Amino acid sequence: MRLILLGPPGAGKGTQAKILLDAYSIPQLSTGDILRAAIAARTPMGLEAKAIMDRGDLVSDTVVNAIVSERLDAPDCANGFILDGFPRTIAQAEALDAMLTDKGLALDAVIEIRADEDTLVQRVLNRAKETGGARADDNEDVIRKRLGVYRELTAPLVAYYEAQGLLKSVDGMSPVAQVSADIRAALAE
Ligand code: AMP
């Protein structure tokens, strides 16, 4: 199963990816997690990405495309993967299409997790409280910025994948268990 989870920050992509990886025994590929690990390890890529992420902007397509291309070649992706937080721009989606074609692979579905913006701001602020502010980008100004970036650069992917016949949408405002049941049902269609 080769999936993309698409949705604004705080919609529950990470939570749902973790549930799906248990159900389908395929890895979660989160470009955000990979970038945060690079920051923690103080690699040159991490140092370059940190300021961009802290202010809620997107890291360059070149950097994230390279991360994903390398990650897709790892043995644990042989039976599939769940992309969480990638692609985030049309250019990234086109790069992913090219990568998959190159590797002789195809996507099975793109799951859009729809969510209401005001609820998302509240969720991200709650996450900041629960984690003691572990993520520098979990504060109100930055979350509003990230939602704006989502609307402008990432939301057009909904139409992009709809045109490919891959899009399935679920309501991300339902309880976590309901959202995952809706995703399983959409995948079984
Ligand atoms: P996330 O953990 O998915 O919310 O990502 C946190 C931050 O990492 C984003 O706000 C971006 O700065 C950066 N990032 C993660 N994935 C991507 C991507 N596919 N393209 C560009 N920037 C990304």
Atom of ligand 1 nearest to the CA of 68: 19
Q: What's the pLDDT at 123?
A: 83
**Burial of 135 by CB count in 10 Å (0-12 exposed, 13-18 middle, 19+ buried)?**
middle
- How confident is the model at residue 82, as a pLDDT? 97
Distances (CA, A) of 95 to 58, 113, 136: 16, 22, 29
Residue 34, classed as helix, strand or coil, is helix
Ligand 1 pocket, residue 9 CB under 6 Å: yes
> Using alpha carbons only, what angle is made at residue 174 by residues 149 and 109, rounded to the nearest 5 degrees?
65
Say if residue 125's pLDDT is above 90: no
Is the pTM higher than 0.95? The answer reads no
For residue 136, the model assigns a pLDDT of 75
CA 32 to chain centre: 8
Closest by CA to 150, choosing from 99, 98, 87, is 87
Q: pLDDT tens digit string along 127-139?
A: 788 887 777 777 8
Q: Is 59 in the pocket of ligand 1 (CB under 6 A)?
A: yes
2-188: CATH class: alpha beta
- Contact status, residue 180 vs residue 18, Cβ threshold 8 Å: no
Greatest CA separation for the chain: 44
CA distance 74 to 153: 28
Ligand 1 pocket residue status of 150, Cβ below 6 Å? no
Q: Among 95, 109, 79, 149, which residue's Cα sits nearest to residue 5?
A: 109
Q: What's the pLDDT band for 73 if we cut at 50, 70, 90?
A: very high
Which listed residue (18, 135, 145, 184) is catalytic?
A: 135
Backbone angles phi, psi at 9, to 5 degrees: -60, 135
Q: Residue 137 has what pLDDT?
A: 75
Segment (H or E) for 61:
helix 61-72
